Structure 1
Amino acid sequence: MKISLNWLKNYIDISLPADELVKGLTGLGIEVESVEDQLNKLKNFVIGRVIEKKKHPNADKLSVCKVDAGTGELLNIVCGAPNVDSGQTVCVALPGAIIPNGNFEIKKSKLRGEVSEGMICSAKELELGDDHSGIMVLDTELVPGTPFSEYLGYNDVILEIGITPNRGDLLSHIGIARELGALTGSKVKEPAVKNDFSNVSLDEKIKVNIENPKGCLRYCGTLIEGIKVKESPNWLKKYLVAAGLRPINNIVDVTNYVMYECGQPLHAFDYDAIEDKKIIIRSAAGDTDFITLDNKTRKLREDILLICDGKKPVALAGIMGGLNSEINNETVNVFIESAYFDPVLTRLSSKFLGLQSDSSYRFERGVDIERTLWASKRAAELIAELGEGNIVQGIVDVYPNRLKAPEVEMRISHLNRISGIQYNKDEVSALLERIDINCVNSENGSMKFRIPYARKEDLQREIDLVEEVIRLDGYDKIGIPDYDTLYFDLRDFSGADYDKLREIRKYIVGRGFKEVISNTLVEESFQQKFNDNYISLLNPSSDKMNVLRSELYTGMFEVIRMNFENSNNSLKLFETGNSFKYDEKGNIAENKSILLVMAGEYDYKVFSQKQRNFTILDMASEAEAIIAKFSVENIKKI
């Protein structure tokens, strides 16, 4: 997640330098992976003026230009853009510049026999837009040689923040501002929605029906008419580029802006493409495929949640919109969707489709269900302003099963015992109120706190609140004891079965075997070579590890292969572990086993005899020795 400091300052007063900010966020348990100064990113990009353009003598589609880039001498630059012409003001990448789109360095070189001392850039090459049909012609009076960052107004510092799966509330600038407010004591300033929208229903314009209320808990929307789809203003494009996004048009850019502002994903529909003026949220059921915005056909599963109009699907709920209702240059009326989709269902659907978007990334981690309506109104106001449209008075807000704000109790004595610090109730309340966690009841040494919806996936137990108090107060305040105490349950490492297994392992090691631990997960196509009684995973992390091993040896083959490939040609290995299969009643059975492996060259060399390989007789003798040593009964020979 990229956070722009300039963008962040819209919501909180920040006076700390970037390095102090990084230190503070790290102290709060938020990892800052990198810090990027935009001035350095656009180093060696300058304003240039094309003085002369001539046809390339050896290439029909290339031009040779003389460009004033403020270096003292005119630069010779070979350009392939059809729209380049003398008199234009352009962006020039000097030798040493790193092109953002492609991450390659510009060097002085020859193109078809002509020296080229730089590059005249297009918007796409600079990640400032989609247009790559020609170079970007600038409308500016800035003199040649002026840093291009000055033309763009780029003076931002970008923080790349690593977000853990439990902290979906940090996937926005307001979310990070809230954390910084806890650090500095500053108040977060959220943008106000100025239009009252009359808060009446939009039923006359569009009807919404949630057929799957478990998949979609809340669905909100607003409508803007008479808009003009055009390029976004520079301030909006700057913020999006800083966040790592590519500006598209004023409508789509606003939905992305609001998502990165508050963490609520939005989707803009062409209202006139919505048939029967109905929105139906349902499972895919009979639908087998769907074409998404990226013009790819997606095969559907019946439990995938769809957004449909009166006749057809128009979006994959929480993941991506459809090509049949996208915003285009002819769009004049826009319906803004803002919803809460179930995190688990979104995750399963995204994994099945092999499609992750900024929206699904947030829905999977849980968004703030109380933010949905605000986000829709906020986007409507910005679209009306930037698209010169009119907001239709009224809202869509379908919320069939209203959630109750979660509450969690915490004992002060438990907090003090875990932290080693003596807190009182007032101190605890003051710390948690910084991040909008308020005490609703306090009695008998216990406090009950109301958890914001944005944190309901993260703060569910007493120990979670304990961690929050310690985190906000500062981990560095936890004292270091004079001695360490290690607690463990001896019952986990004792008992007749454990003692017997330890004795067997010790004996096998004494006979020259090395113990290995192989993966319990194996590839299905490999497992099928041995038997078909195996257990498949519903949601495997890899197609190479998608079933549980039915026998220990299925995992051991990979160990043997890797050793042989690395010239370790004499192996005596053993493993103790569990294997899994279905029993006669169809229940999952977990079996403990010991596996011996002897492979390759015999491990005892006699110089007077020719080197030989292990044989089945060697294995039989080892097995018989173990059987005799431990008086194993009920032996089945195969």
Structure 2
Amino acid sequence: MKFSWQLINNFTNLDHINFNEFKEKLALSGLEIDKIENKEQYKDKIIDLSITTNREEIFSSLSLAIEISTIFNTPIKTIPIPLNYKNSIPYNSKISINKTQTHIAYIRIVAIEKIFNKTTPKWLLNNLEIKQIDKYNTLNNIKEYINKKWGQTFYVTNYQMIKEQKNIINDHELTQIFHSNQIELIVNKISKTQKFHNDQSKLLIFTTIAKINNRDFFQDDPNEFYENMFIDSIKLITTIMGGTIQKHNHAHEKILIKNNKLRLRQENINKSLGYIEHKKLKFLNRKKINNILIQLKLYPKYYKIDKSFEIKVPHYRKHDLKREIDIIEEIGRIYQFKYFFNKIKQHSTKGHKSKTYIKVQQIRNTLRQLGLHEVINCSITKNIYTSYINPKIYNPITNKQQELRTNILEDLINNYEHNIKHSKNNIEIFEIGKIFNKDGKIYTEKRHISGLVYNNQYTRNTWNNSNHEINLYHFKNIIEILLENINSNAILKENLSDHKTKNLNYPEYLFKINKQIKIYDQNSNNIIGILGELDKKFIKRFSDKNEKIYIFEIDLNKLIETTKLANHLKYVSKQYSQYPSVTRDISLKLKKYTKIQRIKQKILEGNNKLIESIEIFNEYFNSNKIRYVGMRITYRSKNRTLNHEDIRNIDINLENKIKQLQEN
């Protein structure tokens, strides 16, 4: 929108303001200047402003001058002339019955005789060109010029249009009060004393809404300059077009316009705007805030008890100043945002992070790096098995949410079913959450970590081969990598002899009996978790009957107890033997579910100090599905070279062990 520098300067004094400073402050206040044109012929500058939709009140030279006077804290030069409505016709519409009136809705009708349609002066055409307004007849051009100068104008009509009861006033609020019937009554009163029914006669209608106490001017509302606009309009019409101005008739209606009051807490101002630049821990003080609110013509009232301001929003700003944050933004705009800190101060000191917090983050990051996605489920559920240890909820909302969960795996199985239903083929998820148990009358709460992996395209031997699904060894390796990355001394092995009884802390019923591995704390030899293949009877719906799903659940606190911080690792040094080793590769025919750990323990039984290591290098099934395991046993002495007798004893002892293993 384009504005004339000269026209703005008529309302407020801009002579003492540097033009570059004017551009900068206007931009910082949200009124960005797109372009500036110099009109040497008229010794004027044309300012093209980009005005946002929330500042719709800035459309005239007067409204822009009021905004500039607010930004630069300078007064308006033009003094508003009080509205004289005392002798006007009082008119009571239904709108104002039984209400306390605060404002005057005012209408003034002027008859003009013997108007000559003269050519519009060049200076006026230039102003219309600046505003990009279409040029019609001279009277209409004057009307548009007045509107762009004062922010309000008159309506042009005649007696015939009044009789036809056509709507002339565009203002919705005034149209409700001064409708066509009311205007006709006023015009009829004029017609009794004046004759203006010829074609050259015109009726000019001036309307406004003003405060009842019109002596109390704040110079913040274009409506307060109604009389100034009226005088300017009549002068222009008579000077340019001639004509005879008849005595005007007018009417008024007392109406209620509620003041929009807002409460502004000083604490919220400080939180939103922050510190003043170059002032450590220094906010805008109360006096400065109060002065800015006065400058914005919001007329604040301070309440010391709750340290807040009560402000009155002007009628012409009611469309954009609706919330507390809007007023805070105005304060920042006037004070200028560049004088606040634009960066949050960075502190070099760091808060204490507990070992538990560090390890939980490390576990999360490790599982994410291994390709698992974290999920979060609600702890209120219905467990698969009904048990006395299940904590029940009194008066549950639904049947599916009547207990606290005793494990996380059941929720992950539900996640799996949901994803399979929506055609998600590869599911690799984990959750860190709380589980609950009941021990007599005591309820316990623990943190567990659980995971579920289903992937039928997990690996391939070569690029030419097709993908293969994940197996138990791959899944076991994922858990081993997790334990290694968090420096845990926990180990994976089969059930020990003293742990044959059912463990209530872990959902063993979800696992296949022969496809589960326990996780032990090496120090206490206690179970801290379990991993293995999911028993398919717990899957309600699946796409492939041969699919394999692997799951794990670990007590998080017990797992963290098995870890050591990186700067407290214990290293064990052993003497390296300088004597040669003897290696034996053997192939064992075993039953399908014989544990490898049990085989190693059997070989190490007795006096086997010469055994240095036992490694599994192969496992396969022949065409008859008979299981074979390839093992490499290394023998070495720390103080001598092994002789023929030592080697013969090794071979005899090894043959006996193999016979025992294959017989069992």
- Both proteins in one fold, TM over 0.5: no
Q: Which category describes the TM-score, using the shorter chain as reference length?
A: 0.3 to 0.5
- TM-score (norm: length of structure 1): 0.43
Q: Which has the higher contact order (CA 8 A, sep 6+)?
A: 1
Larger radius of gyration: 2
| TM-score, length of structure 2 as denominator length | 0.42
